Amino acid sequence: MNGKTGKRNSLLAAAWILIVLTLAVAGAPEGRAWAGTLNYRLKWIYNASVIGDLYASGKGYFRAAGLEVKVRPGGPERDALRELELGYADFGVASADQVIRAVAKGAPLVVVAQLFQVNPLQWLYRTGKGMIRKLDDLKGRTIGITYGKNDEIIMRTLLAKAGIGRGQVEFYSVRLDYTPFLRGKVDLWPVYANTQAVFLRDKLSRAGEETALFVPGDFGVRFVANSVVTSEKLFKRNPELVKRFVGALLAGWKAALDVKHQKEALAILRQVDRDTPLRILKTQLEITRRLVMPRSGPPLGTIDFEGWRQTERIMLEQGQIKAPVKILSCLKPML
């Protein structure tokens, strides 16, 4: 390669870099003016956990509040919080640990409502080996955890609380399929009480096996689940719009979980989840109702400040964040 060709190649490479950079910046989203359709990114795919969101959209609650809202499903590869900062979404659903982790890295977020008052993340187990009435009963069991996810943090907190050491329980790394649990290789399996637990319990009950749920909240660990989040920018620039959105959303949730509207709610669920039998959907809806609107609990949408404080403390203790993030300052209830 002679000097001239080398120079030409370097120029060509520099031109390419410039083109790529220009395209990247040009393709990035600009700040939204919040006119037109609002994007609402859910935490998970459409199922009973998002019935209120679907109901608010399908039954015109957003439209009645003068809003055009596009409800988009979430999933493992989607991150509502990232989309909020990038401007792809205006509102999103995330669990407290996700929010705290994002705030710890400087994400400007505001939590405006809390959907689940009781965390649906629990552990399913067969009662054959005895009921788990105290944390000590976990000793000697094989516990499924998803390394890196919030169930790992919760379980480690519970074990630390009970002074249960490494050798006293065995961990099993949980993946997509339930085979290890169904085959009895794992004693406790992390599930969402209102979705996976329902069909797994149904399956096992038909096989003559009795099951129960291990609920971390019963042992004093309140780890906050699905909450509605928006960007600090939108919250500051247009609080009225945020208020209208939260009002319409919570009205939708309230109606969806009202026994009077069960038929309509089930019909909406059926449209997005054709494979789950109706009786399972009905049970899922009933359990969701108890988690979102517990009988003696606070009003729908209430932000559990103590729960958030505890979640932050647990994450700090477990080394998930390096320093306190003062999460309470990000909680702005819009009820």
- Single out the residue of 228, 227, 196, 237 nearest to residue 34, CA to CA: 237
Min dist. Cβ of residue 16 to another protein (A) = 8
Q: Interface with another protein includes 9 (CB under 8 A)?
A: no
Radius of gyration of the chain (CA): 23
Which of the ranges 13-21, 62-70, 234-242, 325-333 carries the binding residues for another protein, by CB under 8 A? 13-21
Distance CA 190, CA 253 (A): 26
Per CB under 8 A, the list member of 24, 35, 207, 323 interacting with another protein is: 24
How far is residue 265's CA from residue 54's CA, in Å, rounded to a whole number? Answer: 9
Q: Of 268-327, which residues contact another protein (CB under 8 A)?
A: 320
Decide if residue 179 touches another protein (CB under 8 A).
yes
CB of 329 to another protein, least distance (A): 16
37 contributes a contact to another protein by CB under 8 A: no
Site residues for another protein, window 43-82 (CB under 8 A)?
76, 79, 81-82
Among 46, 56, 65, 85, binds another protein (CB under 8 A): 85
Nearer to another protein, 180 or 217 (CB): 180
**CB of residue 255 vs another protein: minimum separation in angstroms?**
33
Minimum Å distance from CB 302 to another protein?
A: 26
Whole-angstrom CA distances from 94 to 116, 216, 233, 246 are 11, 19, 18, 15
Q: How far apart are CB 295 and another protein at their closest, in Å?
A: 33
Of positions 9, 37, 127, 146, contacts another protein by CB under 8 A: 146
Per CB under 8 A, 187 contacts another protein: no
Question: Closest CB to another protein among 80 and 251?
Answer: 80
Alpha-carbon span 332 to 335, nearest angstrom: 9
Please, what is the end-to-end C-alpha distance for the chain in angstroms? 70
> Nearest distance from residue 149's CB to another protein, in Å?
5
Q: Which of 11, 12, 15, 20 binds another protein (CB under 8 A)?
A: 20
Query: What is the edge-to-edge ordering of all strands in the sheet holding 211-214?
Result: 170-173, 142-145, 188-192, 121-126, 211-214
The count of C-alpha atoms lying within 13 angstroms of the C-alpha of 147, restricted to the half-sphere facing its C-beta, is 3
**What burial letters (b/e) apply to 174-198, b meaning 16+ CB within 10 Å?**
beeebebbeeeebbbbbbbbbbbbb
H or E stretch at 69: strand 69-72
Least distance (Å) from another protein to the CB of residue 76?
8
Binding-site residue total for another protein (CB under 8 A)?
Answer: 32
In whole angstroms, give the CA distance from residue 210 to residue 114: 33
Q: What is the dihedral of CA 57, 50, 220, 79, to 10 degrees?
A: -100
Q: Which stretch binds another protein (CB under 8 A): 34-42, 140-148, 244-252, 299-307?
A: 140-148
Q: Which of 149, 161, 237, 309 binds another protein (CB under 8 A)?
A: 149
Do the Cβ atoms of 223 and 97 come closer than 8 Å?
yes
Q: Does 86 bind another protein (CB under 8 A)?
A: yes
Binding region for another protein (CB under 8 A)? 13, 17, 20-21, 24-25, 28-29, 76, 79, 81-82, 85-86, 98, 101-102, 105-108, 146-149, 173, 175-177, 179-180, 320
